[in-house]
């Protein structure tokens, strides 16, 4: 089992961010992400940072159907035009007072990182106030992919 290092009092900040939040079938999440990124490119915007994702909720409709409330956020270069009205524009995106863990394993097993953070929160009597934010990164030298996971905490309970 991989040993994770959890850091406290971390924050992240990005500017000129476009957000796409949708409820969709779990199996169509990747198609929706591709469509979102394509729409940004077709509008003349260029990515200026990592892809950020957050799962707000999962509704299990049946054994085969899960409806996911998921949000993708992308920092961009360029002016966000009104033709992107189906998305939300954030001049600044900030998460503060988070605990943080860098995850290197398979994205399909990201729950292992979530479990580790949840265990840490419980052991240290902390209070998570928002879902996990996944910052998808790539090492520029090795091209190794990793995910920085942030869990926002109640500042009155740290």
Domain ranges in the chain?
6-12+95-157, 13-91
* 108-126 pLDDT, tens digit each: 889 999 999 999 999 999 9
CATH 3.20.20 matches 13-91: no
pTM for the full model? 0.89
Name, in order, each residue with C-beta under 8 angstroms of 83's C-beta and a sequence gap of 6 or more.
Answer: 43
Report residue 105's pLDDT band, with 50, 70 and 90 as the boundaries: confident
Give the residues across from 57 on adjacent strands.
69
**Arithmetic mean of pLDDT, 57-65:** 86
Q: What percent of the chain has pLDDT over 90?
A: 68
Q: Which of 26-35, 58-67, 75-84 has the lowest mean pLDDT?
A: 75-84
Strands (E), the chain: 6-25, 46-47, 51-60, 66-77, 88-103, 133-138, 145-152
Q: In the predicted model, what is the mean pLDDT of the chain?
A: 90
Name, in order, each residue with C-beta under 8 angstroms of 82's C-beta and a sequence gap of 6 or more.
Answer: none
């Amino acid at each position: 089992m991989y040993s994770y290092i959890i850091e406290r009092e971390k924050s992240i900040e990005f500017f000129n961010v476009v957000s796409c939040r949708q409820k969709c079938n779990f199996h169509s999440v990747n198609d929706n992400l591709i469509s979102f990124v394509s729409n940004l490119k077709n509008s003349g915007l260029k990515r200026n940072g990592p892809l950020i994702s957050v799962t707000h909720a999962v509704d299990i409709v049946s054994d085969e159907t899960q409806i996911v409330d998921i949000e993708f956020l992308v920092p961009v270069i360029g002016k966000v035009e009104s033709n992107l009205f189906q998305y939300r524009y954030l001049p600044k995106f900030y998460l503060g007072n988070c605990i943080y863990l860098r995850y290197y394993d398979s994205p399909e097993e990201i729950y292992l990182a979530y479990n580790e953070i949840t265990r840490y929160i419980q052991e240290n009597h902390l209070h998570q106030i928002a879902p996990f934010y996944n910052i998808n990164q790539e090492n520029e030298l090795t091209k190794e992919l990793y995910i920085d996971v942030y869990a926002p905490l109640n500042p009155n309970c740290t």
